[in-house]
Amino acid sequence: MKYLDNIYKQSDISWFTPVEIFKPWYAHAIAEAIMRTANFSVPLKIYEIGGGSGTCAKGIMDYIMLNAPPKVYNSMTYTSVEISPSLAEVQKETVAEVRSHIPKFRVECRDASDRSGWGDVEQQPCWVIMLEVLDNLPHDVVYSENQNSPWMEVWVERQHDRETLNELYKPLQDSLVTRCVEIMDLDKTKTTQSAAVSTLKSIWSKVYPKPRRCWLPTGCLKLLDVLHEVLPKMSLIASDFSYLPDVKIAGERAPLVSTKKEGISTDYQDYMEAKGDADIFFPTDFWLLERIDHYCSGWLKLQDDNSSKKGKKRRTITLETSAFMEEFGLPTKTRTKDGYNPLLDDFKNTKFYLSVPTHNTK
């Protein structure tokens, strides 16, 4: 903890990702997970969304170079889709530390959720890695004034003084928000309850109104929509926060919004107070992530979906980070002298989500 504390004080970065803290072992575990299930009859193709400083890419390529058959390493490609031009350059430098990696690695500086950047559909099997990406993707918030009222979109507008922000509530109209609400099945009570129960709830909500607020991972829905369209045979490995401690902002799946000055972090009570100098972390609801994944692959159909698109069921599993590392990693490499193992014992609020395609359409 003292070691970490010193690193943070020397840096303007609010936090380091596990793949940085536990290099190279964290990336090696991901590489092992890929090698155990990859189809080596076709060239190994890996995409990483938001590759940070390139630590994960280099660690995975190192591991495959040392542990896979030579033909697998020699024919592999690793593409980082990175929206930040400065990080894209850092990634190239990190991976180039091993000269043989250079021709196999490339960075595409663009937004992964923009369909136009992907070009033609890729029909070959491939892997997509997203480490701590979901927590930074855009979210929308919906509001309901009581337990029985319909969900409303929350809009933010500037007051005439141009400084103060306030919220407006409008009926659902944005397609991403509407689809997210349907995928979450937030309105399921309307279809499954008897008239008597509905009446009772209506009375109760008027006597004891309880406003509701819910944050929706619309950015995740948009990204997975694009990925399933352009990479229909992708296997996905995503890691993120399953919950965040001491969140002060209201609502289900509300974000932690904090700023860091002179090595000290301060949390905001209201997301509208944060004006450009804050870090925003959203917790990932892994149950919802799985539903979005199945929906975007065409397997999960919504009530009003009459499309003929026939999706294939995917095999999915959500693992605690410690379980993932025990299965695929080398935990002995991160164990301290007294038996404490930060790779397994810390980051209790993070999980891995693995999703692979099947041939099953029934």
β-partners of residue 355 are: 236, 316
**307, exposed or middle or buried, with CB in 10 Å at 0-12, 13-18, 19+?**
exposed
Identity of the highest mean pLDDT range in 140-149, 257-266, 268-277: 140-149
pLDDT at 29 over 70: yes
pLDDT at 258 over 50: yes
According to DSSP, the β-strands at 45-49 and 77-82 are parallel
Q: What is the pLDDT of residue 202?
A: 59
Q: Write the CA distances from 94 to 17, 177, 336, integer angstroms.
A: 16, 38, 27
Percent of the chain past pLDDT 90, that is, above it, reads: 68
Between 46-60, 161-175, 280-294, the lowest mean confidence (pLDDT) is in: 161-175
Q: What is the pLDDT of residue 362?
A: 46
pLDDT tens-digit map of 223-234: 999 999 999 999
pLDDT range class, residue 14, cuts 50, 70, 90: low
Q: What is the pLDDT of residue 201?
A: 61
CA angle in degrees (0–180, nearest 5) for 132-138-143: 125
Dist. CA 250–CA 17, nearest whole Å = 26
Mean pLDDT of 267-273: 88
Nearest to 214 by CA among 267, 288, 164, 277: 288
Q: What is the pLDDT of residue 199?
A: 62
Between 79-88, 173-182, 259-268, the lowest mean confidence (pLDDT) is in: 259-268
**Mean per-residue pLDDT over the chain, rounded:** 88
Tokens describing residue 67? 């542990």
Q: What is the pTM of this model?
A: 0.89
pLDDT tens-digit map of 87-116: 999 999 999 999 999 999 999 999 999 999
Between 146-155, 205-214, 280-289, the lowest mean confidence (pLDDT) is in: 205-214
Q: What is the pLDDT of residue 90?
A: 95
Q: Write the CA distances from 122 to 50, 183, 284, integer angstroms.
A: 20, 26, 28
According to DSSP, the β-strands at 126-131 and 140-144 are unpaired
pLDDT at 243 over 50: yes
Instruction: With beta carbons less than 8 A apart as the criterion, state whether 76 and 108 touch.
Output: no
DSSP category for residue 4: H
Percent of the chain past pLDDT 70, that is, above it, reads: 88
Mean pLDDT of 228-254: 94
End-to-end CA separation in angstroms for the chain: 50
Q: What is the pLDDT of residue 317?
A: 97
Say how far residue 219 (Cα) sits from the centre of its chain.
9
Dist. CA 262–CA 317, nearest whole Å = 40
β-partners of residue 138 are: none
Name which residue leads in pLDDT, 49 or 274.
49
pLDDT range class, residue 347, cuts 50, 70, 90: confident
